[in-house]
Amino acid sequence: MVNFAQGEFMMLGAFLAYTFVSVLDLHFALSIVLAILVMSAVGVLTDRIIIRPMIGEPHFSVLMITIGLGFILRAVAGFIWGNEPKSLETPYAGKVFEFESVVIGYENIIIILGTIALCSALAFFFKATALGKAMQATSQNQLAAMYVGISVKRINSITWAISAAIAALAGILIAPVSLIDPQMGFIGIKAFAAAIVGGFGSLPGAIIGGLLIGIGEQYAGLYLPPGFSEVTAYAILLLMLLVRPHGILSSVQIKKM
Amino acid sequence: MRFIRKTSYHQDIQIFKHEGQVFWYTCLAVILFSLPFFLSDFYLGELTLVFIYAIAGIGLMLLTGYTGLVSLGHAAFLGIGAYTHSFFLGLGVPFLFSLSISVLFSSMIGMLLAIPALRVTGIYLAVATLAFSIIVEQILSHWVSVTGGYRGMLVPEPKIGNLSLKSHTTFYLICLAFFSWSVLIGLNILRSPVGRAMTAVRDSEISAQSMGINLAKIKTIAFAISAGFTGLAGGLLAHKIGYLAPDSFNLLISIQLLLMVVVGGLGSLHGAVYGAIFIGFIPQALALLRDNLPERLAQIPGLEPGIFGLILVLVLIYEPLGIHGRWLKIRSFFEEFPLYRRSTHKKQRTFLKTERLR
């Protein structure tokens, strides 16, 4: 299952956290939890209303429908929160960590730590829990998963809840360094590029791809004329498709016939 | 209901299946060519736009609807066609000649895009074409000496010889001629071996391969043809909008093109035309809607893409075969009148498999 609206989920999560923190004046940790819970509910709703009727349709239709969903969510966010960028107030904003000559902002440290924690949690979840394995099975072949007794519909709902929750967390992590506005979901496209460069369906691959694209972009911005840094991610993606179509750490196996 | 008695194999690949079709399509052509005598310039302009969209739609339909390859980057071909055409017009190249150059050039770029795209399907392809379109958009904004960068580029006046094509009527007729020509080419491609191979690739790559179809070749041809049609539409569109800017060929336009083939009905050229009519008139409907909505609702940024998204979602859930599919159902209802059963058109359930295990 592919969700092109993942970036929009991220944006919604960040906006929700903003609402809880700045408008309703709740405690920061509580608002994060609330934002993640609300986003899981949004994920389940998306699955029930939009994705479930599409079970059994080709990948292409599911892809199109999530693109449509992304546009709807962006318009909804524009309607509720307006188009001016908002900034999320965090308790750790503005503080820096100093170690001899190295100075890192706390926001960045939290992003790195949060990413590592999230990735290890996910890796554990997919490797070691029955639910995680059921999800992998469902993603590989719905019919076969159904035959071995997995409730495909329930698993799909849970998957959507989890992925929306993760998107919300990502949105909250990134909110202090970039501003929150309805267009921030476009970063999701870059995330796709990273995932494909690294190898779809492989967590370490996604991290490697992300690093490759991020570093490539910084260097292109430094050494190449303007305009190149915006396309670096996509140029790397196209090159990678030429050389290794399924990414650095690919999980593709060609079926033997 | 009409039963066609087939007496030769050639009847299977005739463009017109029976005399009725010849009659009705001739009527349609006569009406379309005589419309400039009746309609005001505004409606002629709108129809011209519909024809241009329909040409791009035929291109995308051949790729997405018939070969089964998704493209989220067709706005790039539109842009390439538009910029190439106006660049060569600016150099003083004659209209038809520069339009042919832009068609050829976009086909070539389409073939280039096909090289990485050949090896991937489904979502990978969608993201690859998306990446391509973003790269093209950046090139259009930064290659200042050719494209004028963010300042944009004024499109020279179209003329053949000394005859100016600027008036609404002549430009309408030009676009109509190109549109009819594109439909004919599209139909002929579809009934040729290449077209049949494209459909076979869409339905099952494995079985197409076992029939001796060279997948890489057919997919490259499909990309080239599709890009060529879209480039032609781009060249014509350049005159319609008059002033080119890089952001007039962004992701939203690509989505709009895809929306067009999906709403029209995948897998039929009729669908491309219905979709073009739909896309052509939706801005007017939206403008009307904006006037009648409360102030706060009408001012939402991104209302238009939001509504596009909503339509896309609704169509995909409730009528995956689009307008053309609905029309076929209505027609069969009348043809079989007392005996019509809903279950005739019921879809068979299939199940999703991963694209990672192939």
- Domain ranges (residues) in chain B: 13-249
- Domain assignment of residue A171, yes or no: yes
**Are the beta carbons of B62 and B189 closer than 8 angstroms?**
yes
Q: By the 8 A CB rule, do B196 and B211 touch? A: no
**Which residue of A lies nearest to B261 if distances are taken between CA atoms?**
A64
Are A77 and A119 part of one and the same domain?
A: yes
**What is the Cα Rg of chain A in Å?**
19
A195 and A173 assigned to the same domain: no
Residue A191: give the domain boundaries: 184-257
Contact (CB, 8 A) for A209 and A248: yes
Same domain (yes/no): A59, A166 = yes
Please report residues of A whose CB lies closer than 8 A to that of B350: 56
C-alpha radius of gyration, chain B, whole number: 21
How confident is the model at residue A222, as a pLDDT? 80
B250 token code pair: 């962004």
Is there a single domain that holds both residue A19 and residue A72? yes
Q: Are residues A111 and A18 in the same domain?
A: yes
Residue A166 host element (H or E): helix A152-174
Inter-chain contacts counted by CB atoms under 8 A, chains A and B: 170
What does the alpha-carbon distance between residue B235 and residue B86 come to, in Å, rounded to a whole number? 7
Count of beta carbons in the 10 Å neighbourhood of residue A201: 22
- Same domain as A247, residue A129: no
Residues 69-88 of A with CB under 8 A from B: 69-72, 74-76, 78-79, 83
Q: Tokens 């169509």 correspond to what residue?
A: B315
d(CA A244, CA B221) in angstroms, rounded, equals 23
In angstroms, the CA A20 to CA A12 distance is: 12
- What backbone torsions phi and psi does residue A23 show, to the nearest 5 degrees? -90, -50
Distances (CA, A) of B341 to B3, B144, B333, B334, B336: 20, 61, 8, 11, 9
CA distance A169 to A118: 9
pLDDT computed for residue B81 by the predictor: 92
Q: pLDDT 10s per residue in chain B (358 long)?
A: 677 888 888 888 888 888 888 888 889 989 988 888 888 888 888 889 999 999 999 999 999 889 888 888 899 999 999 999 988 888 888 888 888 999 999 999 999 888 877 777 667 788 888 888 888 888 888 887 777 777 777 777 777 766 777 788 888 888 999 999 999 999 999 999 999 999 998 888 888 889 999 988 999 999 999 999 999 999 999 888 888 888 888 888 888 888 888 888 888 889 999 999 988 888 788 778 777 777 666 666 667 778 888 888 888 888 888 888 888 888 888 888 888 777 777 766 666 655 544 4
Report if residue A202 sits inside a domain. Answer: yes
pTM value > 0.90: no
Nearest C-alpha neighbor of B247 from the set B153, B128, B111: B153
**Could A76 and B262 be called an inter-chain contact, meaning their C-beta atoms sit closer than 8 Å?**
no
B contact test, residue of A46, A64, A146 with most B CBs within 10 A: A64
Residues of chain B with C-beta less than 8 angstroms from the C-beta of A83: 301
- The residue of chain B with its CA nearest to that of A186 is B251
B166, B167, B172, B173 alpha-carbon torsion, rounded to 10°: -90
Q: Does A29 touch chain B (CB under 8 A)?
A: no
Phi and psi at residue B164, in whole multiples of 5°?
A: -80, 140
Listed in sequence order, the residues at least 6 apart from A63 whose beta carbon sits closer than 8 Å to its beta carbon are A2, A4, B70, B122, B123, B126
ipTM of the complex: 0.79
Q: Is A45 on the interface with B (CB under 8 A)?
A: no
Range 90-129 of B in CB contact (< 8 A) with A: 115-117, 119-120, 122-124, 126-128
**Location of structure tokens 């199109």:** A64
Contacts of A30 (CB under 8 A, 6+ apart): A20
Pair (A175, A116) in one structural domain: yes
From the list A241, A250, A65, the residue with the least C-alpha distance to B125 is A241
Cβ-contact A198, A206 below 8 angstroms:
yes
Q: In terms of domains, do A119 and A209 share one?
A: no
- H/E stretch holding B160 reads strand B159-160
Claim to verify: residue A93 and residue A29 sit in the same structural domain = yes
Residue A95 domain flag: yes
Last residue of a domain, one of A119, A146, A180: A180
Q: Which of A180, A212, A241 is the last residue of a domain?
A: A180
Number of domains in chain A: 2
Are the Cβ atoms of B352 and A238 closer than 8 angstroms?
A: no
Please check whether residue B62 is in contact with residue B225, taking contact to mean a CB–CB distance below 8 angstroms: yes
Whether residue A148 sits in one domain with residue A209:
no
Contact A251 B356 (CB under 8 A): yes
Instruction: Using the 3D structure, point to which of A180, A205, A238 is the last residue of a domain.
Output: A180
**Same-domain pairing of A100 and A116:** yes
The stretches in chain A having pLDDT less than 50 are: 255-257
The two three-digit tokens of residue B276, written as one number: 């073009």
In a domain, A72, yes or no: yes
How many Å lie between the alpha carbon of A177 and the closest alpha carbon of chain B? Answer: 24
Q: Is there a single domain that holds both residue A128 and residue A14?
A: yes
B193 touches chain A (CB under 8 A): no
Domain assignment present for A1? no
